[in-house]
């Protein structure tokens, strides 16, 4: 399963690393990829709830919303 999120708060490469680390630390997440220029966050997972993904990003210090493909 793939979920797309967006964040408008990405200002530096460390933002990417923090978000990817937070998402990849969730059980069931196979891969998280953050695209700095667009704010697009792609998460491949095995059915993790959208709220859990958003909460992990929030706990890393950023806001994000689920977006449509």
Evaluate whether 15 touches 9 at the Cβ level (below 8 Å).
Answer: yes
Distance CA 32, CA 20 (A): 6
The pTM for the full model equals 0.92
Q: Which domain holds residue 18?
A: 2-67
Looking up residue 53, the CATH number of its domain turns out to be 3.30.70.100
User: Cβ–Cβ contacts within 10 Å for residue 50, how many?
Assistant: 12
pLDDT category of residue 69 using cuts at 50, 70 and 90: low
Handedness of CA 45, 5, 61, 38 (dihedral sign): positive
pLDDT category of residue 13 using cuts at 50, 70 and 90: confident
pLDDT tens by residue, 14-60: 999 999 999 999 999 999 999 999 999 999 999 999 999 999 999 99
Q: Into how many domains does the chain fold? A: 1
Report angle CA 38, 26, 51 to the nearest 5 degrees: 65
């Amino acid at each position: 399963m793939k979920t797309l999120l967006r964040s408008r708060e990405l200002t530096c490469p460390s933002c990417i690393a923090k978000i990817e680390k937070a998402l990849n630390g969730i059980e069931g997440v196979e891969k998280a990829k953050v695209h700095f220029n667009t704010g697009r966050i792609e998460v491949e997972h095995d059915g993790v709830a959208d709220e859990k993904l958003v909460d992990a990003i929030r706990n890393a210090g950023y806001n994000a919303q689920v977006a449509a493909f």
